[in-house]
Structure 1
Amino acid sequence: MSGWVAAGFITRSADRWGVTARTVTTTASATQAEAPDSATVAVTALGEGASAARARERARNRAAAIRTAIEAIAEVTIETVDHRVTNSAAAFDPETDAAFRAVEECHIRCEPAAVEAVVVEATDGGGGIDHVQFSLTDTTRAELQDAAMTAAVDRAREKAERLAAAEGLAVGSAQTITTQPARPGGEAVDNAWESDPAVHPAPISVTERVEVAYELVATESTAAAATAATDDSGKD
């Protein structure tokens, strides 16, 4: 999927010798979209106990059991990203009657097609799903950026050619090409996975914006007419 927008203007400038040059500057953007090819499932494992050590041990054991179960059914990368322990006596509104609650959070990276199995195994093992985040791998994102950049530059030239034609001129070589910040876009985060693991992730889009300044030159017909006029002026 792709899209674009464009705008432009024509300017005159003189170099240090006083020669007037005309340029046309256009801006354009293009968007490429692709289904996500990577997913991260944030899984939490809870453990409660009369002591902090006991709560941590239970959370750690539960997380280990969840990891083992998931690794048996899908190709994943698992990273532990957080350990924390809460003292219920120190909490204003404790979530448990136990003296201590420990949480171990893991990020499980997998292909989108494996998310449903990962969610099921994690929840069946007593874990909780904090969120599911879909994204693009670095390779796919780079490919989309290249395609969007090419499309944006092509569109910028098309716009320049239309503006030049209105002045009876043609577009020459590009003088400068500048990339511009695109509107920020986030990855797709789908909390519906907690209740419906059959949800399909939306495509992720990548947008590139450019500003290009082109030299304006005479068209072939204009140049031919100017040459003929010069030849005629030299006749007796």
Structure 2
Amino acid sequence: MTRSTDRWGVTGTVTATASATRAAAPDSATVAVTALGEAASAARARKRARNRAATVRTAIEATVEVGIETVDHRVTNSAVTFEPETDAAFRAVEEFHVRCEPDAVATVVVEATDGGGGVDHVQFALTDTARADLQAEAMTAAVDRARRKADRLAAADGLAVGAARSITTQPARPGNEPVDDAWESDPSVHPAPISVTERVEVEYELTAAETDMTVANDSGKG
């Protein structure tokens, strides 16, 4: 805390740092699905992977409301691969992401695997709107906490806190960053809440305490 004085009374500032965390259940999920195709030629392997991917996508879209985006195509030659995963000459992989609500993850996983595809991972997250709302709540709580801390600091020196002069956001401490939970083996497991931490530094004006001002005014009468 810093302060200075002049002939009219007490002036100066007090700076307080505070953080707050808010958490909410994820409201979106992304399932990474892969479709494999193996053959004696790259073209045939690629075609088989594409056909299998189409089958899996059709099965998923017929069951739940989702958004699907293809994110990768790749073909590997077993002859030039160290410890190849297949006896076939070529393996093709088509990977796509299925975006859905968390409650639909189990259905997507079942349809993908029943259709001959594989599931690499599932990531739970917050939509941009939900994350922004959570950040706003955490920010408000952090500023309120900073104000209470500044009040205590000022009161200890016989002063009062006035208006905020500046508010600066700071990086959250390690370990407090938002974390998106991952699905492992059981799609019925409820994903853990996702937390958002906001950390602020607030500079406030310092003023004379109200009791001190009253005494000063009374002493000037007469």
TM over 0.5: yes
**CA spacing shift, 1:144–1:198, aligned 2, 3 Å:** same
Matches within 5 A, 1:1-236: 10-13=1-4, 21-183=11-173, 185-192=177-184, 195-231=185-221
Amino acid across the alignment from 1:73 = T
SS in 2 for 1:58: helix
**In the TM superposition, what whole-angstrom CA distance separates every residue of 1:7-44 from its partner, at most 9, and x where no partner exists?**
xxx112579x9x97321100011111000000000000
**In the TM superposition, what whole-angstrom CA distance separates every residue of 1:139-189 from its partner, at most 9, and x where no partner exists?**
000100111111111111011111111111111011111111123625324
SS in 2 for 1:209: strand
Length-normalised TM-score, structure 2 = 0.94
Amino acid across the alignment from 1:91 = T
Length-normalised TM-score, structure 1 = 0.88
Aligned length in residues? 220
Separation (CA, whole Å) in 2 of partners of 1:85 and 1:191:
27
**Counterpart contact for 1:37–1:136, Cα < 8 Å:** yes
Off by >3 Å, runs of 4+ in structure 1: none
**Counterpart contact for 1:24–1:160, Cα < 8 Å:** yes
Amino acid across the alignment from 1:187 = V
SS in 2 for 1:82: strand
Higher relative contact order (CA 8 A, sep 6+): 2
SS in 2 for 1:188: coil
**Counterpart contact for 1:35–1:203, Cα < 8 Å:** yes
Separation (CA, whole Å) in 1 of partners of 2:107 and 2:136:
33
Amino acid across the alignment from 1:179 = T
Alignment RMSD (CA, Å): 1.9
Separation (CA, whole Å) in 2 of partners of 1:96 and 1:176:
62
Separation (CA, whole Å) in 1 of partners of 2:193 and 2:62:
29
Structure 1, unaligned stretches of length 5 or more? Answer: 1-9
Amino acid across the alignment from 2:27 = D
The CA deviation at 1:190 is 1.8
**Counterpart contact for 2:35–2:116, Cα < 8 Å:** yes
SS in 1 for 2:197: strand
**Counterpart contact for 1:47–1:56, Cα < 8 Å:** yes
Separation (CA, whole Å) in 2 of partners of 1:52 and 1:130:
23
The CA deviation at 1:199 is 1.4
SS in 1 for 2:220: helix
Structure 2, unaligned stretches of length 5 or more? Answer: none
The CA deviation at 1:215 is 0.8
**Counterpart contact for 1:134–1:187, Cα < 8 Å:** no
Separation (CA, whole Å) in 1 of partners of 2:105 and 2:196:
23
